[in-house]
Amino acid sequence: MYRLVYADAGGRFYDHPKIAAVGRTGDRFVEITPSDMMPLPRGASLVLIPAGSPVGLDRRGNFVLVEEVEGAPVFAVAALLPQGYTRTLLPAYRRPAGEKPLPLFGYAAVAWYKDGLWVAARQTDNPHRWDPRHYNTPELAQLISGRLDRHPGNPILAQLARCARDYSCFTAQNIFCRRWEGGVPVSPRCNAGCLGCISRQPAECCPSPQERISSVPPVEAVVEVMEEHLRSAPGAIISFGQGCEGEPLLAAGTIAAAISRVRRLVSRGTININTNAGHTAGMEKIIASGVDSIRVSLISARPDIYRAYHRPHNYDLHDVRRSIVLARQAGVFVSLNLLVLPGLTDREEEMKSLLAFIQETGVQMVQLRNLNIDPDYLFGRLPPARGELAGIGEFIGRLKKVPGLLVGNFTREV
């Protein structure tokens, strides 16, 4: 039996000897099965759900709300997964009406099995480069200060220093460690209002965990960071469109000019842009400048779901589709940054629409991204879900059957 895991008010967690763990998909509580679960991987962490009472399964097979154990209040527990793992079930709990939305994390169901913690997830990529042991290392502070001393006044490095120190951002730290994928933030503005945006949130939601870069940096500052990374970093990838900025296509003039200048200096490495792809004119500039790959954020290929989550300004899903087609026609490698949520992504109508979108646009890779958001907050703002649920495992299996389509979690070198 996968046992229910709960926490006391002091944050200590326990397994319940009589109550089985339960997961959630969409608006349903479901019994946990072995196909949903794996041992909790290194780099995962446990969190307590504030004001959340866990739901479990008693020995008669009934769902039960566990509000107290031995007269003391208890709380639901969830796991946060490291990169390279895709969540299969949400945690099962109930919170009172009127509670503030949960912080923007990707909550996964967790349980105790035999002699250890298990989580509702699957490994979907090789996490080596994103293993937490490579980050927040003792030499990081010296690497940051040394780089800032060599390039005083560069606003991008100043922003990345804050991201590396305060937010423990891996792509920011990679710039200072001169390796792998490094982020270069440039755009303070956005043309969407995504419900799960991590850099700017409306007042009714939870605080955003990051702060955006405040202004568009000069082209020279962008070139300075790009050139050094592409010239010397192993597995070098420069990525625009990180968590501490808005939509990079709104700064397409600056980015395109920087790419053109850098490519006259350095031919190695991959230049990537993470984007909503809604500003097609900006995409055309980026393509013409010589970008190697784009990664397009998408929660759904169905227009009503897309609009409800992304809340686009002055563009729609057909503009995203057109941008992708233009990129593919120019030979640019295109990935989807697919925001995965059990109970939404794995519905039959969602899968059918997504697979058709991939085929029609020529997308070459799907990067699975656990959507960081309070599930109750999100489902309360989406159109009612329809269609049968297949399960995240089945969804991943169907993606892998598409000829030539890569499925994983990380941006690849091109």
Dump pLDDT digits (tens) for 159-212.
Answer: 999 999 999 999 999 999 999 999 999 999 999 999 998 777 665 567 666 777
Identify the band that residue 243 occupies on the pLDDT scale cut at 50, 70 and 90.
confident
Query: Nearest-CA neighbor of 185 among 147, 145, 158, 166?
Result: 158
Q: What are the C-alpha distances in Å from 388 to residues 153, 205, 335, 339, 345? A: 55, 30, 27, 19, 11
For the chain, list the domains and their CATH numbers: 3-123 (no CATH), 128-408 (3.20.20.70)
Dump pLDDT digits (tens) for 132-161.
Answer: 999 999 999 999 999 999 999 999 999 999
The one-letter amino acid code at 88 reads: T
Range 46-61 average pLDDT: 96
Range 41-45 average pLDDT: 94
Residue 330: its pLDDT value, please?
Answer: 98
Listed in sequence order, the residues at least 6 apart from 284 whose beta carbon sits closer than 8 Å to its beta carbon are 326
Residue 70: its pLDDT value, please?
Answer: 92
Q: How many other C-beta atoms are found inside a 10 Å radius of the C-beta of residue 331?
A: 9
Residue 384: its pLDDT value, please?
Answer: 85
Q: Which two tokens stand for residue 53?
A: 């009472």
Q: Which residue reads 């958001």 in tokens?
A: 373
Q: What are the C-alpha distances in Å from 35 to residues 29, 42, 121, 122, 353? A: 16, 20, 9, 9, 25
